[in-house]
């Protein structure tokens, strides 16, 4: 009974719609939620600028999802790509599937996490003695259909970052040990954050994040006072705050759900696709990931605005977020602020200042 009560007890989360400023980060997170295939977002900025608060706030804002009851992978009841093997077998055997609604999973990856903790482990002894695959799911299983947040991703072991990016891109996690292999769905929005003072991520890894948002400490004293006052007020009376922002939160939630439903029918014209690729080419972006992500993000932005056709305005809002971190060739160079991307964008799309 006590466990059940604890399960229902949630710490209050600062409302997403109450967050002041940090527009780049908020937009990137919303677009990734509308289309997780954008490939996640890397947020770089000063300490104490509300990175963790914003990420928890977007997870709290999202609608509940329906999962197969007591399933370790948050399996979907009908989508094969979001379903563990046991659920697939149960459906094939005509068994009745029980479901429940849960909040979107928001998994924090601790900095000292091991590969076993992230990917899960196979109990070889149990497998050999009892003849069954004894799999202990890791954080990737828990994050399926949710968000996986890695704070200080630039301090994480490169090998682990690789695993996270592979799973985020493929939507699957495979664990192999002593000839036994387990594969399960791991479709999540990967959000990494870091402080540039502690070192940049290697360009090969950085390129695999769909978007890159930069956040800066607010300089305007009036705005700083407002942020401090709002945070203090929330800490004192969280229930009042959550109630005050309830209608704004619901409106944004409805907007995101509508955008997710509209997304498959959004059209991006051939001439605009050509120009996006011309921008990538002139910026000397390696590979085609930049083109693909920009196309996806532009469609998600149009859907977010409730339109089924992408405009130049949509592209202008997202192209810097999608390309600025793909320009570096020398690991010692810092990330372009976006001026270079913006300049080439205006030239290609013939936009006058």
The catalytic site residues sit at 289
Q: How many C-beta atoms lie closer than 10 Å to residue 169's C-beta?
A: 15
Round to whole Å and give the CA distance between 30 and 221.
Answer: 28
> How many residues can be counted in the chain?
353
CB distance 327 to 212 below 8 Å: no
CB distance 175 to 127 below 8 Å: no
Round to whole Å and give the CA distance between 228 and 244.
Answer: 18
Element (H, E) at 120: strand 120-122
Q: Which pair of structure tokens corresponds to residue 135?
A: 């799999």
Round to whole Å and give the CA distance between 312 and 340.
Answer: 18
What is the dihedral sign for C-alpha 298, 301, 307, 313?
Answer: negative
Question: Dihedrals φ, ψ of 314, to 5°?
Answer: -60, -45
CA-based Rg of the chain, rounded to a whole angstrom? 21
């Amino acid at each position: 009974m006590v466990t059940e009560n604890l399960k229902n007890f949630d710490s209050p989360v600062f409302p997403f719609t109450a967050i002041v400023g940090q527009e780049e980060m908020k937009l990137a997170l919303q677009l990734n939620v509308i289309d997780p295939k954008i490939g996640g977002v890397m947020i770089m900025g000063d300490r104490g600028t509300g990175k963790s608060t914003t990420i928890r706030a977007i997870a709290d804002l999202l609608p509940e999802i329906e999962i197969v009851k007591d399933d370790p992978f948050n399996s979907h009841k009908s989508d094969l790509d979001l379903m563990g093997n046991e659920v697939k077998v149960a459906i094939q055997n005509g068994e009745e599937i029980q479901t429940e609604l849960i909040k979107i999973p928001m998994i924090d990856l601790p900095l000292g996490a091991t590969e076993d903790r992230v990917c899960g482990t196979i109990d070889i002894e149990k497998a050999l003695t009892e003849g069954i695959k004894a799999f202990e799911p890791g954080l990737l299983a828990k994050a399926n259909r949710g968000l996986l947040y890695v704070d200080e991703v630039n301090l994480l072991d490169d090998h682990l970052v690789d695993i996270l990016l592979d799973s985020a891109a493929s939507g699957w996690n495979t664990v192999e040990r002593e000839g036994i292999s387990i594969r399960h769905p791991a479709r999540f929005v990967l959000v990494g954050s870091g402080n540039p003072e502690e070192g940049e991520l290697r360009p090969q890894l950085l390129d695999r994040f769909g978007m890159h948002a930069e956040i800066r400490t607010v300089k305007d004293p009036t705005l700083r006072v407002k942020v401090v006052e709002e945070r203090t007020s929330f800490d004192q009376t969280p229930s009042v705050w959550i109630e005050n922002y309830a209608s704004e939160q619901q409106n944004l939630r409805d907007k995101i759900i509508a955008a997710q439903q509209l997304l498959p029918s959004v059209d991006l014209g051939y001439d605009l696709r050509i120009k996006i690729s011309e921008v990538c080419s002139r910026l000397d972006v390696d590979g085609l990931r930049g083109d693909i992500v920009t196309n996806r993000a532009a469609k998600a932005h149009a859907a977010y605005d409730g339109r089924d056709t992408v405009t130049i305005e949509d592209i202008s809002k997202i192209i810097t977020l999608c390309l600025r971190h793909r320009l570096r060739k020398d690991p010692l160079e810092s990330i372009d602020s976006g001026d270079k991307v913006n300049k080439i964008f205006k030239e290609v799309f013939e936009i006058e200042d």
